[in-house]
Amino acid sequence: MSVPDIILKLSNIESYYGPIMAIRGISLAVPRGKIVTLLGANGAGKTTVLKTISGIIDPQKGTIEFLGQPIQRMEADKIVRLGLSHVPEGREVFPFLSVRENLMMGAYPRRDRAAVTEDIERVYGYFPRLRERIDQAAGQLSGGEQQMLAIGRALMNRPTLLLLDEPSLGLSPILVKEIFSIIRRVNEEQGMSILLVEQNAKVALETADYGYVLETGRVVMNDTCERLMHSKDIQEFYLGAKEVGARAERRWKKKKTWR
């Protein structure tokens, strides 16, 4: 990857919650037009990384460059205006506003009204169910529909980089498949770079191009997702290969006993 192709670069970032260090000297990069995923157990620091990038948390040390510009300790709304959108864990839609009003909130930094109208139609193309519920209050939508709305609202900013935090959280396997299919479409059709935090390691590795594995606030492994999928450590701790193998061995021994 050449330097101009890197749109986001973190160098030795440290962030705290009060006196507790949540991320410890993390460095990572997101190439233009690629999907990068962060893997790790609960408490590994994945969500903190996204919050630090988007300006919700100020890092105590290190630098963050977005499109070649330093953004560490920049106000969150200014980061949004640079072309970075963040879909937080838990969706966080505006419950008393309609679907359309929620989408328009995502376009608040923009002044190109005609293009905003086009983008609303594009969002409805990705998520037809939102069109069906255009005047419905967001708080009355199902969990899956709220996740679609949260992603659609982020897309209304026409971001260069989209941060997604646990988009599959609380969703059925069918909805997870649908959401990730749309994430791939957005990446392919719009060339949008995506930094993805996802507890479902299998889905994340199948979706992304490159991955970083976090443990207790540090990067302990990084590689292409294809290589990570074949890593024994990843298979054992994140893909459940050890337990799958153990169950298969128990079934084989049981059959052998019956013979």
pLDDT (tens digit, 9 = 90+) per residue, 158-214?
999 999 999 998 889 999 999 999 999 999 999 999 999 998 899 999 999 999 999
Domains in the chain (CATH in brackets) are 3-83+159-258 (3.40.50.300), 96-154 (no CATH)
Secondary structure class of 237 (helix, strand, coil): helix
- pLDDT of 241 > 70? The answer is no
Across all residues in the chain, what is the average pLDDT? Answer: 89
- pLDDT of 252 > 80? The answer is no
22 phi, psi to nearest 5 deg:
-95, -40
Q: Are 183 and 164 in contact (CB under 8 A)?
A: yes
* Residues 185, 81, 8, 218, CA torsion sign: negative
42 phi, psi to nearest 5 deg:
-60, 135
Torsion of CA 142, 106, 191, 23, to 10 degrees: -80
- pLDDT of 4 > 80? The answer is no
Kindly report which listed range (95-99, 118-122, 209-213, 254-258) carries the lowest average pLDDT score.
Answer: 254-258
Q: Are 164 and 194 in contact (CB under 8 A)?
A: yes
pLDDT digits 0-9 by tens, 147-156? 999 999 999 9
